[in-house]
Amino acid sequence: MALMRLRRMAQLTLPAEMRRALKVEEGDYLEAKVVKNGVLLRPVAVVARERAWQRMTRAASQVKDLKPNPREDITAEEERIAAEVKAFRRTKRRHA
């Protein structure tokens, strides 16, 4: 068990062996939750909205409609493709 000391401005230093075990480094975010008899710290990923939007735009631009429907209006087509992208990403996340 590692011992930590609460410093000025309520700062804690996470010992090196804990940082290595959690695979976190300076600038990473940790979620803190009060649990029975203590505090649970868990690493979390925080994505900037602009970067996320760029990645989504790039992914959407790579989608190819293999069976286009000439009677489908453009809005319906875009919504259908977006739904397919979301379904693919969910499947990929489950298998990661």
pTM of the model: 0.46
| pLDDT tens profile 27-44 | 889 999 999 999 999 998
Question: pLDDT value at position 27?
Answer: 87
CA distances from 61 to 39, 56, 72, 76, 93 (A): 43, 9, 19, 16, 20
Phi, psi of 4 (to 5 degrees): -125, 155
At which residue do the structure tokens 């293999």 appear? 66
For the chain, 96 residues long, the average pLDDT of each consecutive 10-residue run is: 86 90 89 93 84 84 77 84 87 73
Distance CA 77, CA 68 (A): 9
Question: pLDDT value at position 84?
Answer: 86
Spell out the residues 6+ positions from residue 63 whose beta carbon is closer than 8 angstroms to its own: 81, 84, 85
β-pair partners for 34: 39
